[in-house]
């Protein structure tokens, strides 16, 4: 289910990005036909008028379209894929979160009645890594407390790997998005200096447009990195919380087994 939701999100963002990129290409073709000698004051007046009339989203969309589509598209792809991984992890971790006190109480109740199979069934019917490692511990209970601890530690490492799956890709997009923005800025500045060389004039109206486009790529790259970083920190904090509960539940399980004279 969580993979389906992530897929739907990717498809929705892909449709939106394709329309924005198409509009951006059309706008870019129109901008190339504008005369270089156009007064900068007219451009500033038009920009302020659009900002006053449009909403915040429209302003953001306008600036996105004003940027160079060759780099803005890659930044948008980083945002789409990064958000897809983040949402998939958040859904998975929320499903993996379980009330460990309630789970341990049900296990203790079955063990007091001498029903080891019932305690294992409680773990089997409960989702999440905590229930999985407790199940492995109960399976090894007949071999003594050391075997239980060894099984919990071994299987806990496996569950940690499953919890952290996908984080490396989120980190990659956090690092790549501003890099792509910086690359667009550098190439945009090079193009601006090429215009100066072609025109032979250092007039602001000649280079203002190129510099604006160059800086917009950096801005959007940083925005994408900030958004993904917030989600990344939330996910890491969620994983740490689950791991702490797993460790506490593992210790409590050994105590429960000892109190119910399961070890022989």
Cα–Cα distance measured from residue 47 to residue 216, given in angstroms and rounded to the nearest whole number: 14
Looking at residue 56, what is its pLDDT?
A: 63
Residue 31's pLDDT band (cuts 50, 70, 90): very low
Burial letters 156-174, b for 16+ CB under 10 A, else e: beebeeebeebbeebeebb
Looking at residue 168, what is its pLDDT?
A: 93
34 versus 135: which is more confidently predicted? 135
Looking at residue 206, what is its pLDDT?
A: 63
Cα–Cα distance measured from residue 217 to residue 230, given in angstroms and rounded to the nearest whole number: 20
What average pLDDT does the segment 87-94 reach?
Answer: 92
Looking at residue 140, what is its pLDDT?
A: 86
pTM: 0.73
What average pLDDT does the segment 13-40 reach?
Answer: 43
pLDDT at 169 over 90: yes
Range of the domain at 245: 1-264
Instruction: Quote the number of domains for the chain.
Output: 1
Looking at residue 226, what is its pLDDT?
A: 95
pLDDT at 34 over 70: no
pLDDT at 261 over 90: no
C-beta of residue 69 within 8 angstroms of C-beta of residue 21: yes
pLDDT at 37 over 60: no
pLDDT at 61 over 50: yes
Nearest to 79 by CA among 263, 228, 247, 258: 228
């Amino acid at each position: 289910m969580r993979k389906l939701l992530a897929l739907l999100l990717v498809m929705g963002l892909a449709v939106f990005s394709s329309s924005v990129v198409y509009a951006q290409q059309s706008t870019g073709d129109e901008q190339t036909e504008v005369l270089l000698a156009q007064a900068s004051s007219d451009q500033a007046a038009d920009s302020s008028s659009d900002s006053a009339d449009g909403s915040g989203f429209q302003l953001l969309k306008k600036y996105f379209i004003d940027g160079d589509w060759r780099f803005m598209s890659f930044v948008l792809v980083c945002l789409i894929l990064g958000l897809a991984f983040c949402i998939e992890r958040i859904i998975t971790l929320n499903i993996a979160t379980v009330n460990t006190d309630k789970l341990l109480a049900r296990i203790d109740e079955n063990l007091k009645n001498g029903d080891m199979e019932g305690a294992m069934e409680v773990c089997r019917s409960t989702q999440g890594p905590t229930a999985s490692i407790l199940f492995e511990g109960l399976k090894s209970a007949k071999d003594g407390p050391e075997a239980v601890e060894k099984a919990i530690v071994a299987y806990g490492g496996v569950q940690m790997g499953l919890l952290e799956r996908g984080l490396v890709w989120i980190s990659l997009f956090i690092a790549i998005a501003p890099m792509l923005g910086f690359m667009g800025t550098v190439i945009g500045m090079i193009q601006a200096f090429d215009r100066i060389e072609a025109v032979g004039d250092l007039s602001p109206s000649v280079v203002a447009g190129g510099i604006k486009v160059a800086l917009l790529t950096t801005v959007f790259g940083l925005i994408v990195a900030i958004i993904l970083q917030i989600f990344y920190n939330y996910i890491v904090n969620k994983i740490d919380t689950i791991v702490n509960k797993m460790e506490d539940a593992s210790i409590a399980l050994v105590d429960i087994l000892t109190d119910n004279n399961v070890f022989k």
